[in-house]
Amino acid sequence: MNKAIIKVGIADMNIVKGQETIRTSGLGSCVGIVLYDEIIQIAGLAHIMLPKSSIGKVQNKAKFADTAISEMINRLQNEGARKSRLRAKIAGGAQMFKVSAKTELMRIGPRNIEAVKQELHSLNIPIVAQDIGGSSGRTIEFTPATKILHIRTVNLGTKKI
């Protein structure tokens, strides 16, 4: 029996329950953030592109670390999750291009990782597993019932965390 896989695009987010699986691909400098409540077997996945939203009204909250995480928490709580039970698994944030120390703006992957970690820390959500950095792209999948994050890294194979 083939189970449906919910796909999350770049600068996108979604929620799954129980045996449903959620996937995002194309995680280069982007970071995939899984927040889950294992008691009620629900999880959200956000594929963030940039660390911080600009001043003003944000059109797409899933695009930025500082807005995606709080939006995902709200959506999970609307489905019965408790913030106090949420746990995070993160992957991505690769440095896809060689840059000099002077080009801080091009260090998008490391800046995304830092922003995600800061935001989760400020919200008291522990990161229980991570596969971050490096220079290769990733595809990730998560199923709330198993709590396992499957990571496929370009030229490096697969792993579970």
Helix (H) / strand (E) containing 41: none
Non-local (6+) Cβ contacts of 28 within 8 A are 92, 94, 96, 109, 137
30 is known as an active-site residue? yes
Do strands 5-8 and 87-92 pair parallel, antiparallel, or not at all (unpaired)? unpaired
Closest CA to 72 of 104, 37, 118, 96: 37
Do strands 127-132 and 12-17 pair parallel, antiparallel, or not at all (unpaired)? unpaired
Given 13, 15, 27, 30, which residue is catalytic? 30
Cite the active site residues. 30
